[in-house]
Amino acid sequence: MSTTRRTVLGQSWSWKQRNASIEHVLDEIRGNEVSGKEIEATAGWRTAKKYPSEIHVELMASDLIPDPYLGFNEHAVQWVGDVEWLYKCTFPCDSALGEDHKAFLEFQGLDTICDVYLNGERILSADNMFQTHYAELAPSSLKPSNTLFLHFKSAARYAKAQEALMGRVRAGSTNLGDPSRVYLRKAQYDWRWDWGPELMSCGIYRPIVLTTYRVCIDNMACRAFVDDDHSCTLKVNVGLKGSASEVGTYKVVLKDLQGNIVKSESMSVQEAKLHTTVADWTFEKDEVRLWWPVGYGEQHLYNVTLEIFDKVGDLRGSCFALSDLLIRWQEEVLLDAKTLRIGFRSVKLVQEALEEPDQYGTGTTFLFEVNGVRMFMGGSNWIPADNFLTTITPERYRAWLTLLKDGNQNMVRLWGGGIYEPDVFYDVCDELGLLVWQDFQFACGVYPAHDSFVASVRKEAAQNVKRLRHHPAMALFCGNNEDYQMVLQWGDVKHLPAIKIYEEVLPSVVEELTDPVIPYHRGSPYGGKGWDTADPTVGDVHQWNVWGGKELPYQDYDKLGGRFVSEFGMPSMPCMKTIAYWMQDADAKEWHAQSKLMAQHCRAGSFERRFAIAMNDNFKLTEDLETAVFNTQLMQSEAVGFAYQSWRRQWKGKGKQYTSGVLVWQSNDCWPVTSWAIADYFLRPKPVYFIIARHLATFAVGITRTVIKNKPNDRPRQFYEFGSFQSREATLDIWAVNGSLSARSATLELHFVDLCSTWSHKETRVVQLPPNQATELLSTPCLGPPKTGNGSPTGYTEWTTTCSVVAGARLLDIETGDVLARFADWPQPYRFLDDC
C-alpha cells in the first residue's frame, strides 16, 4: 500500500445542456434567483449513463437524439455541436489528510473547450483535446464532499471565432471539413472527412483522476538500448513531484511476463533529486530476449517496476492519517510505485543511396531496420474506430489490431487527423508485434504558428512522446499528413507558418525525449527537393492518381510506386448486412447504388464519377444493388492486390530495395459507410483484406501478363486481348517473395486453363528463393490452346489463343508438396469475360 493515492472520479456524474438565459454558469448548480425567477439546482440535470462520457452518447442513451449513423440522422443532430454542455459530479476526500499532503486533478482527455470548477472556484481552462491537463490543488480546497463542475463550450463556434481574428486559410477540400478547424487542437475528422460524418463531440472522453501525495512519481522513462551486436542495456530515469527530500530508497525490478525476476536493484540516497537515474544496467548475452515485429520473431516483453520509499523511521513531526501511521510501523514506507512494460529492440529509418537505378532513377531508400534486420513494411492506415471515442472498448481495439496482424500486416500508420490513441492501442501493438507509424495530429491544412498555438503544440507533443516512447512498437513519429502536399497542389499559398512546428518544434521534442532516438519524418508524404511530395526516388509518397488525381487505371499501379507508399487505395461498398444497418426501413426506391441514402453514406469527393470510371473500365454495368456491391469489392481487391504485389516485387535485396513499404488507405471505418476501408465499421472484412494477406504472407508469388498487339496504337495494356485489333502473343513474368531470413528452395508449378475449351497445361520446376527479398523467376510465353485454323477462338491463325486463358502459379514445399503461395492471372478487363 502506497501513501500516494489515485482515485478515478467515475461515479455520480450528471449532465445537461447549458441554459443560455442564465448569465453566470455556476448558477446552473447553485440554484440562485435569476431574473426574478428561482432556479432549482437540479433543473435539467440527467444522470450520466456512461463514463468516460461524450454528449452524443448520453443524448442517444436518453432517447433525446436519433442515432446519427442511421439514415439521414446526421443532419438532425448538428445542433448538438453549436450549443454548450455541462457536467458535474460529487466526490469525497479523506478529511484526515496531513498538512504536508498535496493533491492534483489529472484530466486525461477533455474534448475540447472546457472551464473546470472545483467547489465553485475555476481551477482550469482547457483548449487542447490532445493534452493531459493538470490542476494543482491546495489542501484547503478539498472538503469531505466536493463538487466538480465542467463547462464545455462549442468547439465549432470557437474555431470560427479564431478564424475571424486570424483569417480564413486553405484546409483540404470541401469534403474535409470547415477550414476553421486548423485553429483548434481537436480531432480534425470531427469536422467531417471524405469517409466520415460531421459530429462535433464534446465531453470527458478519458478518465479524471484525483491524486493525493507527499511525494510521487511524476514521470518514469525506461530507455532500452540494443546495440548492433544485439547486446542490451536498460536505463531508468525518474521525475518526482513533491518533496524529493522525503525519498530514502529507490527500488527497480525487471520481470518477464511470467513474473520471473530478471534483475533488481535498491539504491539508498541521502538526498534525492527531482530528476535522477535510478538504474543503468548492462545484460549478459541471452539474459534478456529481443522484441521482434510480427513475422520476424517473438514479442518478448518485460515489466519494469519502480518503487520509492521514505527514509526509514523518519516521521519529521508531521501529521499523518491513521492509515499512514500504520504503514510507517513497517521498516520502510512505500511512497509510490509505477510499472511500465517494455521490449528490447532497436529501430532505424535508413535513407541511403541505391546502387542501381530502377524505373524512376536512383535516389535513396526509405526503409525500416529493426534489430539490424531490414524489413519490408506491409500494412494499413488507421483512423479512429468511431466518431464517439468512449464507445471503443479495449476488446474492440484488440479485435481490430488482431485482424490486421492475422492479415499478415506488420505496420499500422496512425493518421494525423484523428487522435493519439489510448494506451491500450499501443499495448496491443506491442503484444502482437505491429510496428506503429505515429503522425502528430495535423492533416491537410495551413496551420497557424503564433506563440500560444506553438506553445500548446509543444506541450501536447512532449506529453504524448513521453507517454509512447517506451513502447517497442513505436517505429516513427511523423510531423503531419499531407500539409506540404496540399500547399504544392493548391499553388496559391505563399507561406506555411507551421514549418516552424514540423521542422523545429516536433523534431526537437522527439530528439530530446527519446533515447535512443525514435526516427522522425517531417511530413507524409515528403521527400524531394523543394518539398516535392511526389518524387518516387526519395522519401514516402501518397499515390492517389488511380482513384483521384489523374484517375488512371489501376493496372498502372506498377508504374506509380515509390520508395515507400504510405497511402493509396480504392474504395468499395461494405457488405449488404452493413448497408442494411444504415438503410433500416428505407423505402424500396432507396435500395440502389445511386440513391440519396447510399450517397449519404459515401463521402468521397466526386465519388459517383470516379466509381463510374473504374467500374465501367472493368465490369459490366448493373442496376442490382447486391451485384453492384460485390463488383465494387472485387474491383477494390483486384486493384489493391495488384498494387501490393507490384510494389513488394521491388524489394530486391540490399542496394536494390526500391520499394520498402506499402500501407493501404485505410484499415477501418469510424461509422457504417462506403469507403477505402479493408474491413467495415463492424469489423467485417472485405475481400481485399484476404488479398492483402495473401500478398503479405511470408511467401508470395506474382504474375504479370504482357500482351504484344498487332498495332502500336492499340488500346491500353490493361485491355489484354480484346477490341478492334488482335494480339500476336502474350508473355508472363513470374516472380516470388521470400520474406523469411533463410534461403528456400521451392517447386514452382504453372497451370494454364482455357475458359472456352477443355484445354489445360501444367508444368513444374525447382526455383531458389534468396532470403528477405523478391526474386524474378522466369519470363515465359503464356500458353493457350493449339492454333487450328478457323477453329481458333478468333478464327485467324496468326493471333494468340490466350484471350480466354487463366494462368496460375503456385509455390510448393519441395518435400511435402504443401502450398506456400499461389496466384492466378485472368484476362482483363473482366467485363469482356463471357460464358463460352
Rounded average pLDDT over 731-742 = 96
The rounded distance, in Å, linking the Cα atoms of 269 and 311 is 9
Q: Give all strands of the β-sheet with 302-310 in edge-to-edge order.
A: 261-268, 247-256, 302-310, 334-342
The rounded distance, in Å, linking the Cα atoms of 56 and 353 is 52
CATH architecture of the domain with residue range 352-385+410-419+536-696: Alpha-Beta Barrel (3.20)
Residues 6+ apart with CB under 8 A from 69: 197, 581, 582, 671, 672
Say if residues 15 and 61 touch (Cβ distance below 8 Å).
no
The rounded distance, in Å, linking the Cα atoms of 674 and 604 is 9
> What whole-number percentage of the chain has pLDDT above 70?
92
The rounded distance, in Å, linking the Cα atoms of 330 and 610 is 73
Nearest to 337 by CA among 307, 303, 304: 307
CATH number of 701-832: 2.60.40.10
Partnered with residue 358 across adjacent β-strands are: 361
CATH 3.40.50.261, domain 5-212, yes or no: no
Indicate which residue of 28, 482, 567, 638 is catalytic. Answer: 482
- Work out whether strand 102-111 and strand 133-137 pair parallel, antiparallel, or are unpaired: antiparallel
pLDDT at position 319 is 40
The rounded distance, in Å, linking the Cα atoms of 608 and 193 is 17
Is 63 exposed, middle or buried (CB count within 10 Å of its CB: 0-12, 13-18, 19+)?
Answer: exposed
Q: Does 829 score more than 90 pLDDT?
A: no
The rounded distance, in Å, linking the Cα atoms of 30 and 584 is 44
Report domain extents, the chain.
Answer: 5-212, 352-385+410-419+536-696, 701-832
Element (H, E) at 487: helix 483-490
Q: Per-residue pLDDT tens for 429-485?
A: 999 999 999 999 999 999 999 999 999 999 999 999 999 999 999 999 999 999 999
pLDDT at position 98 is 65
Rounded average pLDDT over 114-119 = 97
Q: How far is CA 171 from CA 179, 200, 443, 486, 652, in A?
A: 5, 17, 8, 8, 39
Rounded average pLDDT over 173-191 = 93
H and E: helices and strands count for the chain: 15, 38
Which of 14-18, 723-727, 761-765 has the least mean pLDDT?
723-727
Residue type, 750: L
Query: How is residue 811 written as a grid cell?
Result: 509455390
Residue type, 821: A
Q: Does 119 score more than 90 pLDDT?
A: yes
Asked, colleague to colleague, whether 352-385+410-419+536-696 and 701-832 share their fold, the answer is: no
pLDDT at position 375 is 98
**548 band by pLDDT with thresholds 50, 70 and 90:** confident
Residues 6+ apart with CB under 8 A from 140: none
Say if residues 426 and 473 touch (Cβ distance below 8 Å).
yes
Q: Does 163 score more than 80 pLDDT?
A: yes
Q: What are phi and psi of 822, to 5 degrees?
A: -155, 155
**322 band by pLDDT with thresholds 50, 70 and 90:** very low
pLDDT at position 572 is 96
Query: How is residue 378 written as a grid cell?
Result: 506491409
The rounded distance, in Å, linking the Cα atoms of 632 and 609 is 14
The 3-state secondary structure of 69-93 reads CCCCHHHHHHHHHHCCEEEEEEEEC
Q: Does 715 score more than 80 pLDDT?
A: no
pLDDT at position 283 is 96
Residue type, 559: K
Please identify which residue in the block is written with the cell numbers 511523423.
478
Instruction: Look at phi and psi of residue 175 and say left if phi exceeds 0, alpha if psi is from -120 to 50, else beta.
Output: alpha
Catalytic status, residue 23: no
Query: How is residue 375 written as a grid cell?
Result: 524489413
Query: How is residue 643 written as a grid cell?
Result: 498494387
Is 528 exposed, middle or buried (CB count within 10 Å of its CB: 0-12, 13-18, 19+)?
Answer: middle
Rounded average pLDDT over 25-53 = 77
Q: Per-residue pLDDT tens for 68-99?
A: 999 999 999 999 999 999 999 999 987 656 66
Instruction: Look at phi and psi of residue 551 and say left if phi exceeds 0, alpha if psi is from -120 to 50, else beta.
Output: left
**802 band by pLDDT with thresholds 50, 70 and 90:** confident
The rounded distance, in Å, linking the Cα atoms of 353 and 113 is 48
Nearest to 7 by CA among 103, 98, 127: 103
pLDDT at position 723 is 53
Rounded average pLDDT over 546-551 = 88
**325 band by pLDDT with thresholds 50, 70 and 90:** very low
The residue among 517 and 396 whose pLDDT is bigger is 396
In 10 A of CB 308, how many CB atoms?
A: 26
pLDDT at position 725 is 56
Partnered with residue 103 across adjacent β-strands are: 137, 212
Rounded average pLDDT over 485-493 = 91
Helical H runs in 337-417?
394-406
Mean pLDDT of the chain: 91
pLDDT at position 327 is 47
**328 band by pLDDT with thresholds 50, 70 and 90:** very low
pLDDT at position 97 is 64
Query: DSSP readout, 154-187?
Result: PHHHHHHHHHHHH-----S-GGG--GGGGGSBS-
Q: Per-residue pLDDT tens for 356-366?
A: 999 999 999 99
